[in-house]
Structure formats: C-alpha cells, structure tokens
Amino acid sequence: MVGSHMATSKKIICALSIFILLFGVLYSSALRLTPLENSGYMRLSSSSEISAFLSLLAHHYPSAEKVSIAESELGNPVDALLVSSNLSLFKNRMRDDDKLTVLFLGSQHGSEPSGAEALLRVATDILKGTLGPYLDEMNFIFIPNGNPDGRNLKSRKNAHNIDINRNYMILTESESRGIIDALNRWSPDVVLDVHEAPALKKKSLARQGYLMDFEAQFEAANNPNVDQDIRSYSFRRILPQLIERVQAKGLPAQRYIKSIHSIHRPVTNGGLSLEILRNMAGMMGAFSFLLENRRDPSTGAYPTPLNIHARVSKQYLCITTFLESIRPHRDAISAISRKARMKWKNPHNKAPLYLASRYVTDPSNPKMTLPLRRIDTGESIKHTFRYHGDVEARLPLTTLPAAYIVTSHQKFIQDILARHHVKYRRAKKSSTFVAHVKRIKRRIFEKINARQSQTRYVFKERKMDYQLRRGDLVVDLNQPAKRLIPLFLELQSAGSIFNNDRYTNLVQDQKDFFVLSAE
C-alpha cells in the first residue's frame, strides 16, 4: 500500500515537473518580450504549444477560459481564450452593457506567425495586471492561432490549400466557420485581425527593383454595406488617432495600401470583398480593423527577416496602442455598434443594398506619395502614385424580395446558409408565389489578377406565378440576416456563391436560374 502511494506521488511530481517546465518554456518564449536588438532571436511556438499555453492561462487565472471553436483538417484545435472579469456571464453570451467586447484574431495566414505570439503576450499582460485596467472595461476573445495547420506547415493557406481570409462568404473551411460562429456567439463590438505583410513582392514590385517600405499599416471595414456610422467613425476618428499614436511611439505607420504591382499603376487601400473577415465582421455590426506589420525578405541584408522577437515586439506595440486608441471611444463604439446590429436585424430596414463596389479616383485627393526602398542600393525614396481612394458603391438593390425560392441544388445552398446562421425552410405543401425568374443567356469569365477571377451573367428577367413544390427551399428575408442573403444569391453580387470558380457551373446557359425572387 505504501509503495502504491509512493508510486502515485512520483507520478504526480513528474506530471507537475512537466507542467512547470512547459509553462517556463512557453512563458519565456512567448511572453517576456521587450524591444530587442536586431541580433535577438526566439523560437516560434508550434500550434500544440500555443494550445497548451492557453490551457495554462485558463488554469492559472480565474478570469480566463479556453474553448475550442473548430478543428482543422489535420486535427488541430482552433482555440479561443475568453477573458472577462465576469467570466460566468460572458461565456454564456450574457452581455455587460458597460463593457466593450473585443475579438483578436492572429495568424490566419500560417506564414505570418508573429501575430499569435504577440496576442499571447497581450492576453497574459491583461490577466497578470500589466494591462489590467482593460479587464474592468472590456471583455476579450483571443483567437491567437486561426490557422494551426498553416502555421505548422509554414503556409499562407490551410491544409486544404485554401486562404482562410478569402473564405468568409462560402465558408467551406472549418477554421473560417469557427470564426464566424464566434462572431455570432459573442457579438464583439470590436475586431482586430493581426497580419504580417512581406516587404518584398517577388512577382510584381521587386521586378522593378523596389521593396515596399513600411512598418505598420492599418485598415477598417470598408465594404459599402457596412453600417455607414461604423465606417464614418472608424475612418474619421479611430484610424487617424491610432496611426498618430503608433508613429508617436517611434514606429512608422500608415493606412493600409494594397499590394503595389507597378510604380506606374494606381494604388488603392484594402480589399472591399465580404470574403475578407474584416468586412464580414463589419457587415455584422462590429468595428473591424486590420493590422499588417512588415515582414522582411529572408535573403539579403535586412533588419528582421527571421527575428521573430523584434517582429512580435512591433505587433505588441501596435495591438496595445490599438487598445489605447479605442478606449476613449468606448461609449461611442458601443452605442454605434449596437445600433448597427439592431438595424442589421430589423426586417423593415429600407437602406439600399449594394451588390458590387470598386475603387475610383477621389478628385480631392488624386495622388499619394509613398516610401519605397531600392533593392540594389537600399536607398529609401519617395514615389508619387495615382491614388484611387474613393469607394464607389454599385448595383444598388433598392427593393429586396420577400423571399428567395431555391428549386434545385437545395442541399448545397442550405449548407452555405446554415454556416451563416441563416434561417430557411423546406416546402411541405403547395402554394403560389409571384416570382421573378432569370433566363441565363451566357456567362462571361473575366480575370481580375493572377489570383482572382469573376463571372458575369447576361440574363433576361420575367415575372410569373410560381407553384411551390414539395422540397423547394424557401429563404424568407424577414430575419436577422436579411441584408446578407441577397449578397449570396443574387447573380450580380460580387460575393455571390455563383461568382465562385467552384460553383459557376451550377448555373447553365439557356436555362432558367434555379433561384427565384418572390414578391
């Protein structure tokens, strides 16, 4: 009996030793970060180590709890750490109206790993007290490692070779579905998506001899269907102050500039598509932002190509400055966000819905001067670009249908709708609707760039009495997701299911489109 107790005690001591050792390794590698010299390096945490560390935080601090929001193709959990001074209410989706809810997402692209490390540090500093005052004012959802397979594979994409941050309309991937579920579950007022961007664009700007020369870039949700008050407050108040604060701390910062393909072409800001998390979260009523920090080339004499320690320190500075910047606006953000959600859920909302958008020249600001760096000499230069900085909302849908009727491919459509928490029903009995039917004349496939293409449909529309058949899918627009549904199902929508390369073949030339609009 004594021997049995001794053996059990040894097992406990061994387990505790492993626990302490793991805690020490992860704590030192991910959390004790300070601004470093260029010679300092640290080892990146693996996805399993990040998951283990979140478990340690949840075990050590009563204000934290780890939950799994998805499982990747290779069986890795996508973990979230909930942090709240009133955790029991928060984890059960009960909101405290005096607090903001902030969601942080890191490492959606596995080849941009330092965001996860920076978010681990921010979470720990909030819990252990360095950033403690925020705990009295905000609830947090930390998803530090949004793409665990991509991180382990050192790939931008996940194990299915899909870019998660271009997947928020069709939601084919478990990782993106889990993140959307988190947005629906906790309804954050604020979202920050943390990325790194390569300074070297081998297939475009580098061929002309230049690097992009930046340290930090920020953008807000900019799709024209995002609530106007959210967009206005983000771009006029929060972003300018955030950029100014980061610069005041010695880190050059600017508004996000989309990849520069040529010094002779216009530049624009961040993408407008709802396939991007920032815009989808904004559409759902959150103040949603992007952070992109510089990632140096891995070859050549550059300051931080592999210096993860320095890269994490820059991201930590930007994330904590982001918290500083939203703090004075807490009441305004809360009021505007919650009003936007009420409008989003209001079935009587009459605001036009825009099926497409694009960047155009702003006559008051037609040019922009940006820093570049010559690859051959390392010289920093200023180059003036034509600037397309105005967003033109196109193809307004001023009258939304009462419902959509899906007469074919119902299982496929209902799966996508269900992923977005859209309500639908299967017809069980016959009834008659006045419906608009599109006759497809032809499809036109257009290449946008090396990675993107789109499909335009030429059709003729007619009105008819449609006899509902058993099994037809009926999607009533009298529901909270009213303004999202047409963006999935209208052929002219830039984000339409049928504008995706994989699904355009569901629509056939010289036949009626199988999605009808009911009056």
Interval 91-112: pLDDT, tens: 887 767 789 999 999 999 999 9
- List b or e across 41-68, with b for residues whose CB sees 16 or more CB atoms inside 10 angstroms: ebebbebebbbbbbbbbbeebebbbbee
- Residue 66 sits at φ, ψ, to 5 deg, of -95, 135
Interval 391-430: pLDDT, tens: 999 999 988 999 999 999 999 999 999 999 999 999 988 8
Strand pairing category for 64-71 and 216-220? unpaired
More confident site: 400 or 453: 400
Which CATH number does the domain 29-344 belong to among 3.10.310.70, 3.40.50.11060, 1.25.40.10, 3.40.630.10? 3.40.630.10
Q: Could you tell me which of 471, 519, 515 has the C-alpha nearest to residue 496?
A: 515
CA distance 438 to 407: 13
Is the pLDDT score of 47 beyond 90? yes
Is the pLDDT score of 456 beyond 90? no
Lowest average pLDDT, out of 21-30, 147-156, 202-211, 261-270, goes to 21-30
Is the pLDDT score of 321 beyond 90? yes
Is the pLDDT score of 461 beyond 70? yes
Interval 341-356: pLDDT, tens: 887 667 677 788 999 9
Residues of the chain above pLDDT 70, percent? 87
Residue 480 CB contacts under 8 Å (≥ 6 apart), including other chains: 344, 345
Strand pairing category for 253-255 and 287-295? unpaired
Encoded amino acid at 203, one letter = K
- Output the pLDDT for position 365: 94
Sign of CA dihedral 451, 193, 382, 297: negative
Is the pLDDT score of 5 beyond 90? no
- Output the pLDDT for position 449: 61
CA distance 519 to 517: 7
Is the pLDDT score of 444 beyond 60? yes
Q: Could you tell me which of 301, 296, 263, 298 has the C-alpha nearest to residue 378?
A: 301
- Output the pLDDT for position 504: 87
433 Ramachandran zone, left/alpha/beta (phi>0; psi -120 to 50): beta
CA distance 93 to 140: 12
- Residue 230 sits at φ, ψ, to 5 deg, of -65, -45
CA distance 445 to 454: 6
CB burial of residue 144 (10 Å; 0-12, 13-18, 19+) = buried
Encoded amino acid at 457, one letter = Y
Structure-token pair, residue 80: 């979230």
What's the mean pLDDT in 443-458?
76
Confidence of residue 448 (pLDDT cuts 50, 70, 90): low
Instruction: For the chain, give every domain's residue range.
Output: 29-344, 353-394, 399-518
Confidence of residue 17 (pLDDT cuts 50, 70, 90): very low
User: Can you spell out the DSSP letters for 93-112?
Assistant: T---TTSEEEEEEE-SSTT-
Strand pairing category for 403-406 and 138-143? unpaired
Residue 469 CB contacts under 8 Å (≥ 6 apart), including other chains: 407, 427, 430
pTM: 0.90
Cβ atoms of residues 469 and 424 within 8 Å: no
- Output the pLDDT for position 310: 86
Strand order in the sheet with 432-447: 425-426, 473-476, 403-406, 515-518, 432-447, 453-467
CA distance 252 to 235: 19
Strand order in the sheet with 380-386: 210-212, 367-374, 380-386
- Output the pLDDT for position 306: 56
Confidence of residue 201 (pLDDT cuts 50, 70, 90): confident
Interval 236-291: pLDDT, tens: 999 999 999 999 999 999 999 998 889 999 999 999 999 999 999 999 999 999 99
Q: Could you tell me which of 218, 473, 447 has the C-alpha nearest to residue 325?
A: 218
Strand pairing category for 515-518 and 403-406? antiparallel
